[in-house]
């Protein structure tokens, strides 16, 4: 399987490297009993800027037959439609050129269809933008479906201004990384998500700190421009 975002080999639709950029934007848990004799089942749906995931009813046909309840995780841009099949909210998925498939997720007894639809639409825009950024920084051609903003934009430079060339002690701790704009957490995220988000924030700030250090080295003439670019590429591939 190939990562739908960066195209590298992956064990899931979104590889472990790309998942580090994930931010949960919407999450909901609920319980539902499908019939008199059925037992109460717990369901969960989460929408991030890269995936739709959770514990849902899943099947291969759009009539809701032969479904099973399972943990799911799909690349968000593979969501083709969120609709109501008259009974349950249904999410249609269709894989891209990397991984071809058709699948349907069902959310029995889900009460916030409108909110979920809006969350998916908003998150898809973010997923498209983030995918472009990751593909550009890994030197991939932009997705043909999305219009590329600036033609032939050079590798995105970190937005943070270069710190003033102070004493060239490379080991000096760089100033605290610029706060990454935290996504306006929709409904209060559960503790596990908070922990996951903290981990992501840590990764990002570590990355930014390292980039800043490289810049200081370059600004002080310790690294040539070419060396700086090479080191930066290495960093991008690690994170």
Stretch that binds Zn ion, among 15-23, 76-84, 108-116, 207-215 (CB under 5 A): 15-23
Answer yes or no whether residue 6 interacts with Zn ion by CB under 5 A.
yes
Closest distance of CB 17 from Zn ion, Å: 5
Residues 68 and 106: their CA atoms lie apart, in Å, by 10
- Per CB under 5 A, contacts with Zn ion among 28-47 are none
Per rule CB under 5 A, is residue 50 in the interface with Zn ion? no
Structural contact between residues 116 and 26, judged by C-beta atoms closer than 8 angstroms? yes
Where b means 16+ CB within 10 Å and e means fewer, 122-139 reads ebbebbbebbbebbbbbe
Shortest distance (Å) from residue 23 CB to Zn ion: 16
Q: Please, are residues 102 and 60 in contact by the beta-carbon 8 Å criterion? A: yes
Number of residues that bind Zn ion (CB under 5 A): 5
Smaller CB separation from Zn ion, 156 or 175: 156
Binding residue (CB under 5 A) for Zn ion from 1, 2, 9, 15: 15
Q: Which is nearer to Zn ion, 3 or 45 (CB)?
A: 3
Dist. CA 90–CA 80, nearest whole Å: 11
Using the contact rule CB under 5 A, the part of the chain among 7-15, 55-63, 98-106, 139-147 near Zn ion is: 7-15
- By CB under 5 A, residue 76 contacts Zn ion: no
Interface with Zn ion by CB under 5 A: which range of 16-24, 33-41, 94-102, 106-114?
16-24
Q: How far apart are CA 215 and CA 209, in angstroms?
A: 10
Give CA–CA dist 43/65, Å, rounded: 18
Cα–Cα distance for residue pair 46/55, rounded to 1 Å:
9
* Contact positions vs Zn ion (CB under 5 A): 3, 5-6, 15, 18
């Amino acid at each position: 399987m190939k990562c739908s975002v960066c195209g590298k080999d992956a064990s899931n639709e979104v590889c472990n490297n790309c998942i580090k950029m994930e931010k949960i934007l919407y999450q909901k848990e609920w319980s539902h009993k499908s019939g008199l004799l059925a037992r109460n089942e717990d369901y969960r749906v989460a929408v991030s800027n890269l995936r739709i995931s959770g514990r849902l009813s899943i099947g291969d046909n759009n009539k809701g037959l032969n479904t099973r309840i399972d943990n799911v995780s799909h690349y968000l841009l593979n969501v083709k439609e969120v609709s109501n099949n008259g009974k349950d909210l249904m999410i249609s998925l269709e894989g891209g050129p990397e991984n071809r498939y058709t699948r349907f997720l069902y959310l029995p007894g889900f009460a916030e269809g409108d909110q979920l639809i809006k969350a998916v639409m908003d998150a898809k825009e973010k997923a498209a933008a983030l995918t472009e950024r990751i593909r550009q920084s890994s030197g991939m051609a932009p997705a043909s479906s999305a219009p590329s903003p600036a033609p032939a934009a050079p590798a995105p430079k970190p937005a943070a201004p270069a710190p003033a060339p102070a004493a060239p002690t490379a080991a000096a701790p760089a100033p605290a990384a610029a706060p990454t704009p935290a996504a306006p957490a929709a409904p209060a995220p559960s503790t596990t998500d908070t922990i996951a988000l903290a981990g992501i924030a840590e990764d990002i700030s570590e990355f930014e700190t390292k980039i800043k250090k490289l810049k200081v080295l370059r600004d002080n003439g310790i690294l040539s421009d070419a060396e700086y670019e090479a080191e930066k590429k290495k960093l991008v591939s690690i994170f």
